[in-house]
Amino acid sequence: MYKAVVLTAVAAALMVSQASAQDLAGTLKKIKETGTINIGHRESSIPFSYLDDKQQPIGYAMDLCMKVVDAVKAELKLPALKVALQPVTSSNRIPLLQNGTIDLECGSTTNSVARQQQVAFGPTYFVINVTAAVKKTSGINSLAELNGKNISTTSGTTAVPLLKGYEKTKSVDVKEIYGKDHAESFLLMADDRAVAFVMDDILLAGQIANSKTPDAYKILNESLRQEPYSMMLRKDDPQFKSLVDKTISGVMKSGEIEKIYAKWFTSPVPPKGINLKFQQTAPLKDAFKTPNDKGV
């Protein structure tokens, strides 16, 4: 009888395990079947997701995404889960997510209502202002003064449409020169092929801090729009989104986010040991206090 009870219990456990595996869907099912999670990362989005001196992706967004990876390992009971790292750009990040090449995009992606038609987002982990960086010798102090000038920006970003739609610059006529990533876009301005690099303030600060002559540049005070950043995942995947939301919200509510933020924004960061000295803004503090995935 004892043996029969044990066998019955084992059979029941196996049935529960099989049922649980069958209940998996979307990204979690894909990860379970392949034993791999594919992380999309940027190569020059300092300090969110960029390559260090060993050509390994590091950054604030990468640290948060690794929290999700740990949660997936625990949820699927896959301690040996393989993490495959895939570089992405502003132009191909959404297609690569949609076609299954990556499962989670960890970078500096704006959560917009328009993009929500194609993908989903986790909780906001940063809030930026879209503006422009110029050389101090350019004499440019406002966005309206970009009229008739060449400006650089990164392919696949929202910067140029915002500039053209900005009330104070609706009559501004600019010629856009596109870089494949933020490093190339900054170089276009640094090499005087463009007078301004239009992008998110923190990304501009990161490029300036890591340039050869940081004191040669300044960021304009005007803002085209305030935007939330978040990690990107596939649309209509409630299981995986629930895990991402629970994990990142937990990091924020526990206060752990404060240490991670300080590590990347108010401390020296590799590879040059530069401190961005970028303090938390009121909107960002609100996002940490009340985690949400609202887009602009």
Nearest residue to 265 via CA among 126, 132, 72, 141: 126
Nearest residue to 187 via CA among 175, 199, 169: 199
Q: What is the pLDDT of residue 174?
A: 87
Beta-bridge partners for 256: none
Of the two residues 12 and 104, the one the predictor is more confident about is 104
Evaluate if residue 167 carries a pLDDT over 70: no
Query: What SS3 string covers 216-240?
Result: HEEECCCCCEEEEECCEEECCCHHH
Tell me the average pLDDT across 170-183: 87
Beta-carbon count within 10 A of 289 CB:
9
3-state secondary structure of 255: coil
Instruction: Give the C-alpha distances (Å, rounded to integers) separating 275 from 50, 55, 209.
Output: 15, 20, 8
Lowest mean pLDDT among 75-84, 146-155, 163-172, 177-186: 163-172
DSSP-assigned letter for residue 138 = G
Rounded CA-CA distance 200/204 in Å is 6
Average pLDDT, the chain: 91
Q: What is the pLDDT of residue 170?
A: 65
* Cβ–Cβ under 8 Å, residues 168 and 145: no
> pLDDT tens digits, residue range 200-219?
999 999 999 989 999 999 99
Rounded CA-CA distance 55/137 in Å is 34
For the chain, percent of residues with pLDDT exceeding 70: 91
* Cβ–Cβ under 8 Å, residues 137 and 224: no
> pLDDT tens digits, residue range 2-38?
444 444 444 444 433 443 555 999 999 999 999 999 9
Rounded CA-CA distance 191/4 in Å is 79
Sheet holding 44-45, edge to edge: 44-45, 49-51, 57-58
Of the two residues 14 and 99, the one the predictor is more confident about is 99
Q: What is the pLDDT of residue 162?
A: 82
> pLDDT tens digits, residue range 235-247?
999 999 999 999 9
Q: What is the pLDDT of residue 73?
A: 98
Give me the half-sphere count of Cα atoms (radius 13 Å) on the Cβ side of residue 283.
Answer: 12
Evaluate if residue 67 carries a pLDDT over 60: yes
> pLDDT tens digits, residue range 248-265?
999 999 999 999 999 999
* Cβ–Cβ under 8 Å, residues 227 and 159: no
Q: What is the pLDDT of residue 10?
A: 43
Q: What is the pLDDT of residue 171?
A: 72
Beta-carbon count within 10 A of 5 CB:
9
Domains and CATH numbers, the chain: 22-125+230-289 (3.40.190.10), 129-226 (3.40.190.10)
Q: What is the pLDDT of residue 221?
A: 92
CA-based end-to-end distance of the chain: 64
